[in-house]
């Protein structure tokens, strides 16, 4: 009887430990998911704010500084005048086809950041980039890269609390001059 | 004793059964919690992907609209990256083929653009304003499994073309800027453009590039920087005789103007403005045959003033302007109030020759000016430091001793009279993620 109670206690203890571990892992996962949700909304909001600046205001007021950390969004910035940004960050994508000159204009309205986002529970940083995109259909093969057809707006969001997301969330869109025409 | 043994024998194994039962309940509870966490995770990833897909769909709308205005396909044509006929490229009969583009990082967009339709069509939502025509542009953004679809009605608008197509300075024939002294002189905070030759001295920097079509030349000195931006075609020039801005032309302002507001500095015979002492020119539209500002004298423009000056010449008005007129010579300075933006002071110069009037515009003293200057037949030359905020469009730019040019984005809002048809976004709506009729890309957007 004593042996049986001991075995039952042992089974229960193992079960309880496993359950607690499961709950802990689940809580961690749920926190990560909630942080991802919050970061998505922060990124979406930051994108809308940049778009609200209008085409003419869509430029970086200063050049972001490159980073050597591959998990830092500024890792894809190349220093120079005016500097460049690798918009396609998939492995294998590099070179002139995946990199564009940054739109730097002291009179523009976009602060490259990073700026903090979040509250007491979740948070991180928001990075903003505006680069010149070239359209082969308009500029021709000889005109690309180089021709200024679109402004590519990229918003990268990192999560630093409560967990560290390994890769930043990247939101991207293209914006054209609403007054563009053949004579412009 | 026997009874106790029997009861003990009956209870043998009960503890283990209870423990396993409790374990079973805990396992079920854990599984439920795990499933819930998985659902949260899936939901979070879906939220991220759907928001990225919406941005991709919006990019599709921008690309489609931009290409439509730049490539201008025939009214009966659809548009991918080239004009395309309905029913081609895998599209159903009467429908337009789709263009698929990549945004990188796993995001892609697809758009379809219909041929021109009457403004009364409701395929793309409410009808366009009366008198307009429309095209319907539908775009889908995709990221992993997530998909968003948006649609916009593009309405025709009759618009003017920008007087200043670049935010910066254009010298149709040439731009020549001397060496920078390294203390901020000869810095172009904007773009430079030329169909001819751009020559930059040592250490001159141009923040938004040198724009030029094929066949033009860029010569840059040591330490100078100007990324090349190729242009598809030469810069469009509106000749002064046909220039019309806000309903004003050289011809109309020659007879109807506010010149008398210049007071004693104005001489009606020959329409000359000769500024011999500090003065302020009020808001108005002026047409002078020549402007001369004496040394150490300032011509000012007050806060909120809106001034357009047409500098005519005997080439444009042979009866009203004396022979040899048509020049602006600044031996003093011109000061626009610091609160005014560049479009508040607009200078239009007819020119003394059909191209390249070398002495038309001269600045002979240090000057800081906020204004726009349109002089496609004239050359501007300086002998001292010039700081210009705004935009310039000239035949030639010759800067010897220093210029700081700060482009003002507001200058792109200055348009000539309306002659171009452009498409602008009218109605916008989000659609079901897939068309309700598989062969009709515009369907499912009620």
Give the residue from chain A lying closest to B60, CA to CA: A174
Within its chain, how far is the Cα of A105 from the centroid? 22
- Is the pLDDT score of A183 beyond 60? no
Q: How far apart are CA B91 and CA B78, in angstroms?
A: 11
φ, ψ of residue B28 in degrees (nearest 5) = -65, -40
Which pLDDT value is given to residue B342?
94
Q: Which residues of A touch B102 (CB under 8 A)?
A: 88
Which pLDDT value is given to residue A184?
41
Within its chain, how far is the Cα of B362 from the centroid? 30
B255 contacts: CB under 8 Å, gap ≥ 6: none
- B261 pLDDT band (50/70/90 cuts)? very high
CB contact under 8 A, A183 and B161: yes
Nearest to A12 among B23, B162, B165 (CB): B23
Q: What is the pLDDT of residues A15-48, one digit of tens each?
A: 888 888 888 888 877 788 888 888 999 999 999 9
**What ipTM was predicted for this assembly?**
0.89
Which pLDDT value is given to residue B160?
75
Most B CBs within 10 A among A28, A171, A177, hence the mutation to make, goes to A171
Tell me the three-class secondary structure of B308-343, residue by residue: EEEECCCCCCCCCCCCCCCCEEECCEEEECCCCCHH
Give the residue from chain B lying closest to A25, CA to CA: B34
Tell me the three-class secondary structure of chain B, residue by residue: CHHHHHHHHHHCCHHHHHHHHHHHHHHHHHHHHHHHHHHHHHHHHHHHHHHHHHHHHHHHHHHHHHHHHHHCCCCCCEECCCEECCCCCCCCCCCCCCEEEEEECCEEEEEEECCCEECCCCCCCCCCCCCCEEEEEEEEEEECCEEEEEEEEEEEEEECCECCCCCEEEEEEEEEECCCCCCCCCEEECEEECCCEEEECCCCEECCCEEEECCCEEEECCCCECCEEEECCCCCCCCHHHCCECCECHHHHHHCCCHHHHHHHEECCCCEEEECCCEECCCEEEEECEEEECCCCEEEECCCCCEEEEECCCCCCCCCCCCCCCCEEECCEEEECCCCCHHHEEEEECCCCCCCEEEEEEECCCEEEEEEEEEEEEEEEECCCEEEEEEEEEEEEEECCCEEEEECHHHHHCECCCCEEEEEEEEEEEECCCCCCCCCCCCCCC
Q: What is the pLDDT of residues B49-63, one digit of tens each?
A: 999 999 999 999 999
Q: What is the pLDDT of residues A143-153, one digit of tens each?
A: 888 888 999 99
Q: What is the pLDDT of residues B147-202, one digit of tens each?
A: 999 999 999 877 777 899 899 999 999 999 988 765 556 789 999 999 999 999 98
A88 contacts: CB under 8 Å, gap ≥ 6: A97, A98, B102, B104, B105
C-alpha pair distances (Å), A140 with each of A136, B69, B210, B268, B297: 5, 16, 18, 53, 51
Q: What is the pLDDT of residues A81-140, one digit of tens each?
A: 889 999 988 877 666 678 999 999 877 899 998 999 988 788 899 999 999 999 999 988
Which pLDDT value is given to residue A95?
67
Chain B: give the shortest CA distance to residue A19, in Å.
6
CB contact under 8 A, A90 and B104: yes
Task: Look at the pTM and tell me if it is higher than 0.90.
Answer: no
CB contact under 8 A, B44 and A37: yes
Segment B99-125 mean pLDDT: 92
Nearest to A15 among B22, B44, B205 (CB): B22
Instruction: Pick the range with the lowest mean pLDDT from A154-163, B6-15, B100-109, B306-315.
Output: B6-15
Tell me the three-class secondary structure of A91-112, residue by residue: CCCCCCCCEEEECECCCCCECC
Mean pLDDT over each residue of chain B, to the nearest integer: 90
Q: Which residues of A touch B229 (CB under 8 A)?
A: 146-148
Q: Regarding predicted confidence, which is higher, B63 or B416? A: B63
Q: How far apart are CA A171 and CA A44, in angstroms?
A: 7
Which pLDDT value is given to residue B9?
63
Chain B: give the shortest CA distance to residue A96, in Å.
14
CB contact under 8 A, B45 and A90: no
Instruction: Pick the range with the lowest mean pLDDT from B196-200, B365-369, B420-424.
Output: B420-424
Give the residue from chain B lying closest to A136, CA to CA: B81
CB contact under 8 A, A36 and B18: no
C-alpha pair distances (Å), B408 with each of A2, B139, B300, B382, B413: 89, 34, 20, 21, 10
CB contact under 8 A, B70 and A181: yes
């Amino acid at each position: 009887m004593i042996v049986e109670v001991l075995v039952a206690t042992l089974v229960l203890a193992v079960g309880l430990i496993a359950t607690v571990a499961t709950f802990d892992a689940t809580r961690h996962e749920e926190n990560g998911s909630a942080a991802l949700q919050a970061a998505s909304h922060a990124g979406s909001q930051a994108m809308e704010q940049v778009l609200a600046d209008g085409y003419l205001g869509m430029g970086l007021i200063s050049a972001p500084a490159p980073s050597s950390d591959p998990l830092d969004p500024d890792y894809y910035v190349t220093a120079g005048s005016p500097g460049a940004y690798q918009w396609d960050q998939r492995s294998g994508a590099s070179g002139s086809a995946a990199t564009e000159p940054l739109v730097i204009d002291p009179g523009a309205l976009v602060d490259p950041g990073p700026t903090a986002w979040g509250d007491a529970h979740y948070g991180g940083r928001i990075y903003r980039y505006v680069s010149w995109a070239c359209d082969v259909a308009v500029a021709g093969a000889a005109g690309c890269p180089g021709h200024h057809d679109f402004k590519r707006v990229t918003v990268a969001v990192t999560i630093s609390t409560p967990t560290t997301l390994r890769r930043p969330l990247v939101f991207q869109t293209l914006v054209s001059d609403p007054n563009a025409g053949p004579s412009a | 004793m026997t009874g106790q043994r029997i009861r003990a024998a009956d209870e043998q194994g009960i503890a283990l059964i209870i423990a396993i039962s409790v374990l079973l309940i805990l396992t079920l509870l854990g599984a439920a919690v795990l499933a819930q966490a998985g659902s949260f995770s899936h939901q979070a990833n879906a939220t991220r992907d759907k928001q990225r897909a919406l941005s991709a769909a919006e990019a599709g709308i921008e690309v489609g609209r931009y290409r439509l205005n730049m490539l201008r396909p025939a009214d009966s044509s659809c548009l991918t990256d080239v004009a395309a006929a309905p029913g081609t490229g895998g599209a159903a009969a009467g429908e337009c083929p789709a263009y698929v583009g990549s945004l990188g990082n796993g995001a892609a967009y697809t758009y379809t653009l219909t041929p021109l339709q009457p403004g009364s069509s409701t395929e793309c939502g409410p009808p366009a304003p009366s008198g307009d025509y429309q095209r319907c542009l539908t775009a889908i953004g995709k990221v992993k499994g997530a998909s968003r679809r948006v649609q916009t009605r593009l309405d025709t608008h009759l618009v003017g073309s920008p007087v200043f197509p670049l935010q910066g300075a254009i010298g149709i024939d040439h731009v020549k800027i001397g060496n920078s002294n390294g203390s901020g002189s000869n810095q172009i905070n904007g773009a430079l453009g030329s169909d001819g030759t751009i020559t930059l001295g040592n250490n001159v920097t141009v923040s938004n590039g040198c724009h030029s079509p094929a066949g033009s030349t860029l010569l840059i000195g040591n330490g100078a920087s100007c990324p090349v931006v190729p242009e598809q075609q030469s810069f469009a020039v509106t000749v002064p005789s046909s220039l019309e801005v806000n309903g004003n032309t050289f011809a109309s302002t020659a007879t109807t103007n506010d010149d008398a507001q210049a007071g004693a500095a104005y001489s009606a015979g020959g329409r000359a403005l000769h500024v011999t002492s500090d003065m302020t020119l009020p808001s108005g539209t002026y047409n002078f045959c020549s402007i001369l500002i004496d040394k150490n004298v300032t011509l000012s423009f007050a806060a909120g003033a809106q001034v357009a000056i047409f500098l005519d010449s005997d080439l444009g008005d042979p009866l009203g302007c004396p022979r040899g007129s048509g020049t602006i010579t600044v031996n003093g300075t011109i000061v626009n109030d610091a609160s005014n933006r560049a479009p508040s002071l607009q200078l239009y110069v007819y020119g003394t020759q059909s191209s390249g009037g070398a002495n038309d515009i001269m600045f002979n003293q240090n000057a800081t000016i906020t204004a726009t200057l349109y002089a496609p037949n004239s050359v501007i030359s300086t002998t001292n430091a010039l700081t210009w905020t705004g935009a310039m469009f000239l035949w030639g730019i010759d800067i010897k001793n220093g210029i700081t040019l700060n482009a003002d984005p507001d200058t792109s809002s200055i348009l000539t009279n309306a002659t171009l048809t452009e498409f602008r976004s009218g109605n916008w709506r989000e659609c079901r993620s897939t068309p309700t009729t598989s062969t009709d890309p515009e369907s499912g957007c009620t």
